[in-house]
Amino acid sequence: MSAIRTSRPKPFDLTLRVPGDKSISHRSVMLGSIAHGVTEVEGFLPGADCLSTIDCFRKMGVSIERTSETFVRVTGRGIQGLQEPKLPLDVGNSGTTIRLMLGILAGSSFFSTVVGDESIARRPMGRVVEPLRKMGAHIDGREDGRFTPLAVRGTSLEGISYESPVASAQVKSCLLLAGLQADGVTTIQEPTLSRDHTERMLTAFGAMVEREPNRVSVHGGQSLVGTRVRVPGDISSAAFLLAAALMVPGSRITIEDVGINPTRTGILDAFRMMGAELEVEQTDVWCHEPVGRITISAGELKGIEIGGELIPRLIDEIPVLAVVATQAKGETVIRDAAELKVKETNRIATTARELRKLGAQVEETEDGLIIFGPTPLSGGTCHSHGDHRIGMAMAIAGLASDSGVYVEGTEAIKVSFPEFSSLIQQL
């Protein structure tokens, strides 16, 4: 088991880049695989989750070459050109891989089985299996297909109109990918808008996607054409570094070439509400995704109340937001975030538990957290619980501790931000 130790550094002023966006990297390999022709991906995230996606599509006969850590060349086979995998498709720790891939497998012409690690085995698959079955999919699995392992007998699908009870880009994307192979139109309505990378990338691959507020439709029978994808830096990874600047008064960080898609920038809104000084400048658009430069420096931080439409726009950043909230004056209330319970860990529970070990005052609620600040953070030993975002969040907490925080289980971090440990220790 690997571990890292962080403690209060001297104030810093740094300009950095972060590794490629995880959501966009997954999609580049998936859409590249089912497209016709070659897709070249620059700035691919070499994180364990995205490598699981590569491995699954290779098992379906797709030629995927990695000419460097971050450059990937996918020779697409067309959506009906994938081959029956001889072995189970192993998604490792990646919820995005399994849920999006199920949309592709459901409409294939072959049989496949899908497995993952212990965390994946706890995560709900009914949210995609149920609507896919409405489209005609044949999926079986543990507890009637609500959990892995799953088995899919590919078949022809019918378009549906589906009202998703959760704002989940994984549900939406799964159904869009199934919809591409279905007869007729597939429409997904979500309660609030979740990240829209699939919609944007489908357009870049030549598909027609119809969008209305919180609603998206796709016609079946369209084929995709391979393209060049340049992946922006991952704002979810950048969030840990932005938080680092807020934890060490007098510090400033600039992150360049980072994705600033508005469905992902909720954390910037939250940090601004807390009193951080933030400058965001759009510098370019890569493969239909806005890219820019973010500079942050700490102001006097105050507690905030967040919920509603903001939550899907910062869902993966809530653990580190809670860490920053321990240093803000007053109460920070996070509501409408029950989705956190079904991530790599129950992030409401693991965030609260680990922060309390350092003396933070944190209350768990049914759908979020309440953090009372500011509280000094003591030294101590924390654990990632096998969850990359919890491991990184606790390492950031250590930056406000004089005696230092030792975080165990940091091997989980390779899922999304392989360089995190060396970067943070440079502070």
Ligand X SMILES: O=C(O)C1=C[C@@H](OP(=O)(O)O)[C@@H](O)[C@H](O)C1
The minimum distance between CB 341 and ligand PEP, in angstroms, equals: 12
Query: What's the CA gap between 392 and 319, in Å, rounded?
Result: 9
Q: Using CB under 6 A, which of the segments 11-19, 167-175, 252-260, 369-377 binds ligand X?
A: 167-175
Rule CB under 6 A: say whether 173 interacts with ligand X.
yes
Q: Is 316 a catalytic residue?
A: yes
Rule CB under 6 A: say whether 170 interacts with ligand X.
yes
Query: What's the CA gap between 367 and 132, in Å, rounded?
Result: 27
Is 117 among the annotated ligand-binding positions? no
- Cβ atoms of residues 318 and 347 within 8 Å: yes
Toward ligand PEP, which CB reaches closer, 226 or 266? 266
Is 146 among the annotated ligand-binding positions? no
Q: Is 327 exposed, middle or buried (0-12, 13-18, 19+ CB in 10 A)?
A: buried
The minimum distance between CB 128 and ligand PEP, in angstroms, equals: 12
**Which of ligand PEP, ligand X, none does residue 168 bind to, with CB < 5 to 8 Å depending on kind?**
ligand X
Instruction: Scan residues 180-239 and list those touching ligand X (CB under 6 A).
Output: 194-195
The minimum distance between CB 342 and ligand X, in angstroms, equals: 7
The minimum distance between CB 222 and ligand X, in angstroms, equals: 21
Rule CB under 6 A: say whether 106 interacts with ligand X.
no
Rule CB under 6 A: say whether 97 interacts with ligand X.
no
Q: Which of 25, 33, 97, 168 binds ligand X (CB under 6 A)?
A: 168
Q: Using CB under 6 A, which of the segments 166-174, 275-283, 325-333, 358-366 binds ligand X?
A: 166-174
Is 153 among the annotated ligand-binding positions? no
**Which of ligand X, ligand PEP, none does residue 94 bind to, with CB < 5 to 8 Å depending on kind?**
ligand PEP
Is 27 among the annotated ligand-binding positions? yes
Rule CB under 6 A: say whether 45 interacts with ligand X.
no
The minimum distance between CB 94 and ligand X, in angstroms, equals: 9
Toward ligand PEP, which CB reaches closer, 79 or 91? 91
Of the residues 183, 316, 336, 387, only one is catalytic, namely 316
Q: Give the interface with ligand PEP as residue ranges (CB under 6 A).
A: 49, 94-96, 316, 343-344, 389, 416
Query: What's the CA gap between 94 and 120, in Å, rounded?
Result: 7
Tokens of 189: 């309505």
Rule CB under 6 A: say whether 316 interacts with ligand X.
yes
Q: In the 3-class helix/strand/coil scheme, how is the chain assigned residue by residue?
A: CCEEEECCCCCCEEEEECCECHHHHHHHHHHHHHCEEEEEEECCCCCHHHHHHHHHHHHCCCEEEEEECCEEEEEEECCCCCCCCCCCEECCCCHHHHHHHHHHHHCCCCEEEEECCHHHHHCCCHHHHHHHHHCCCEEEEHHHHCEEEEEEECCCCECCEEECCCCCHHHHHHHHHHHHHCECEEEEECCCCCCCHHHHHHHHCCCCEEEECCEEEEECCCCCECCEEECCECHHHHHHHHHHHHHCCCCEEEEEEEECCCCCCHHHHHHHHHCCEEEEEEEEEECCEEEEEEEEECCCCECCEECHHHHHHCHHHHHHHHHHHCCCEEEEEECCCHHHHHCCCCHHHHHHHHHHHCCCEEEEECCEEEEEECCCCCCEEEECCCCHHHHHHHHHHHHHCCCCEEEECHHHHHHCCCCHHHHHHHC
Q: Which of 6, 39, 96, 112 binds ligand X (CB under 6 A)?
A: 96
The minimum distance between CB 322 and ligand X, in angstroms, equals: 16
Q: Which of 23, 112, 227, 297 binds ligand X (CB under 6 A)?
A: 23
Q: Which residue is nearest to ligand PEP (CB)?
A: 95
Is 316 among the annotated ligand-binding positions? yes
Angle 328-334-340 (CA atoms, 0-180°, nearest 5)? Answer: 125
Toward ligand PEP, which CB reaches closer, 108 or 173? 173
Rule CB under 6 A: say whether 40 interacts with ligand X.
no
**Which of ligand X, ligand PEP, none does residue 389 bind to, with CB < 5 to 8 Å depending on kind?**
ligand PEP
Is 335 among the annotated ligand-binding positions? no
The minimum distance between CB 300 and ligand X, in angstroms, equals: 31
Strand partners, 372: 331, 361
> Residue 169: how many CB atoms within 10 A of its CB?
25
* Residues tagged in the binding site annotation: 22-23, 27, 95, 123, 168, 170, 316, 343, 347, 389
* Residues tagged in the binding site annotation for phosphoenolpyruvate: 22, 95, 123, 170, 347, 389
What is the contact surface with ligand X in residues (CB under 6 A)?
A: 23, 96, 168-170, 173, 194-195, 315-316, 339
Please give the positions annotated as active site. Answer: 316
* Residues tagged in the binding site annotation for 3-phosphoshikimate: 22-23, 27, 168, 170, 316, 343
